[in-house]
Amino acid sequence: MEFKEFTKIYEVSNQDISREVYRNNQNTIRIKKEITAVNNLEKIFNAVFYISYKKGFQAMSMRDLSQKTGMSLGSLYAYFKGKNDLLGIIQTQGWAIIKKDIEQVSKSHEAPLEKLKAVIKAHIFLSELFRPWFFFTFMEARNIAAVKSMEDHTQKILTDILVAGEKQDVFKPGNHHLTASIIKAMQQEWYLKQWKYKKLNVSVDQFADHLVGMVEAFCLV
């Protein structure tokens, strides 16, 4: 599967995400008109990602955010209770995006190798589609327990596939936990070092294929 294909199957836009956030937080968001709210939420998220990418969420002031969105300080506080609340909203949503996807993909395919390839690629493609969410979640949430448990969760999926593959004599024996962990690291690389791959002129598809190639070389009997 290539990235283009993936985007057609996985039809979710940034607007959809903002709408989801709006509906999940209608109790705290003071805006009544959905269209207005969704549009502004999108503006807010983009601004947060932009500023946080450069200097981190903590260093971003509400005045920064006000300037970048073009909205006043007062308006912003109609969309979230406080800066900390905003952080929580983004993290929760980022988490939801990742979780939903992984579960979906890991159910498709049966053969271990095909399954492994599909899971690896799906995660990279998803992180490409929502790169700012992934980057932000990684950078700003590092020590939250929730994030660690999510890492464990997604890693377990990979480990299970490797173990199943070994039983079917498709994969070599070895420390599958460790292999799974390193695969995860390689996937993360794509959204953590975007600037590098832009400079190297490497596309998502190239990156994903290269990574799959490395995993195959190491795991296959």
Q: Using CB under 8 A as the criterion, which residues of the chain lie in contact with a copy of itself when the complex forms?
A: 53-56, 58-59, 139, 142-143, 148, 151, 174-175, 177-179, 181-182, 185-186, 188-189, 192-193, 195-197, 200, 202, 206-207, 210-211, 213-214, 217-218
CA distances, 152 to each of 62, 124, 158, 183, 200 (Å): 34, 17, 10, 13, 31
Choose between 10 and 197: whose C-beta lies nearer to a copy of itself.
Answer: 197
Residue 89 CB, shortest distance to DNA, in Å, is: 13
Residue 39 CB, shortest distance to DNA, in Å, is: 8
* Residue 75 binding: pick among a copy of itself, DNA, none (C-beta 5-8 Å cut-off by kind): DNA
Q: Which two tokens stand for residue 92?
A: 């929760």
176 within 8 A of 163, measured Cβ to Cβ: yes
* Residue 99 binding: pick among a copy of itself, DNA, none (C-beta 5-8 Å cut-off by kind): none
CA distances, 2 to each of 7, 122, 126, 205 (Å): 9, 10, 12, 6
Q: How many CB atoms lie within 10 A of CB 116?
A: 25
- State how far the Cα of 177 lies from the Cα of 180, in Å rounded to an integer: 5
Q: Which two tokens stand for residue 17?
A: 């995400």
* Residue 81 binding: pick among a copy of itself, DNA, none (C-beta 5-8 Å cut-off by kind): DNA
Please report whether residue 173 would count as binding DNA according to CB under 7 A.
no
- State how far the Cα of 86 lies from the Cα of 140, in Å rounded to an integer: 12
Stretch that binds DNA, among 2-10, 29-37, 45-53, 183-191 (CB under 7 A): 29-37
Q: Which two tokens stand for residue 104?
A: 């979906």
* Residue 108 binding: pick among a copy of itself, DNA, none (C-beta 5-8 Å cut-off by kind): none
- State how far the Cα of 26 lies from the Cα of 156, in Å rounded to an integer: 34
Contacting positions for DNA (CB under 7 A): 30-33, 36-37, 40, 60-63, 70-75, 77-78, 81-84
